Structure 1
Amino acid sequence: MIGVLVTFTQTDKVDRSSLAKIADELRVPFEGMAGLRFKSFMLDEDGFQAKNFYVWDDEEKSRSFFTEELVDKVTGIYGAPPKIEYLEIVGFVDNSGT
């Protein structure tokens, strides 16, 4: 498994309700997406960074998702270019089924 942390750093605080609206509008394309196990939309404690965290089955699928075209699109949505970090997941606990 591979984790991908995508961070959008803003110069002004991110409006929580605007971020929640983005998350709601963008949820549908991710539901049932092949190779994607989880995706979360997050806001950091200070409110200056919107973050998305993905868990993918494998690195190839994750890297093929984050194309230059997608980066341009999300830059327009969030108003800032993303920083994309690929993280090897060496252990995982999933309590969602309990």
Structure 2
Amino acid sequence: MIGVLVTFTQTDKFDLSTVAKIAGELRGPFEGMAGLRFKSFMLDEDGVRARNFYVWDDEDKARAFFTAELVDKVPGIYGVPPTVEFLDIVGFVDNSGT
């Protein structure tokens, strides 16, 4: 498994309702996506950073998803360019089935 952390940093605060609206509108394309186990839309406590965290079953699928074209496209959604970090997941707890 591999994690991907995508961070959008504003100079002003993100509006919680705006980030929630983005999450609601963009949820559909990710549901059932091959290789994607989880995706979360998050907003930091200070409201300056919106973050999306992905858990992928396969690194190749994760890297294939995050193309330069995609990274160039998302500033139109969040208003700022993202930073994309690939993270090795060395342990994982999933309580969703309990």
Give the TM bin, normalised by the shorter chain: over 0.9
Q: Percent identity?
A: 81
Per-residue CA deviations over 1:37-95 (Å, capped at 9, x if unaligned) read 00000000110000000000011110000011111111110011100000000110000
RMSD across aligned positions (CA):
0.5
Counterpart CA distance in 1 for 2:4 and 2:37 is 12
> Does 2:67 match 1:47?
no
How many residues align? The count is 98
CA distance in 2, matches of 1:91, 1:58: 15
Q: Which residue of 2 aligns with 1:81?
A: 81
Structure 1 runs (4+) deviating above 3 angstroms are none
Structure 2 unmatched ranges of 5 or more? none
Q: Give the Cα–Cα distance (whole angstroms) in 1 for the partners of residues 24 and 73 of structure 2.
A: 17
TM-score, normalised relative to structure 2: 0.98
The residue type paired with residue 28 of structure 1 is: G
Displacement of 1:12 in angstroms is 0.6
2:94 maps to 94
For 1:21 and 1:70, locate their aligned partners in 2 and report how far apart those are by CA, in whole Å: 20
Which AA in structure 2 matches 1:60?
D
Residues 9-48 of structure 1 aligned to structure 2 (within 5 Å): 9-48=9-48
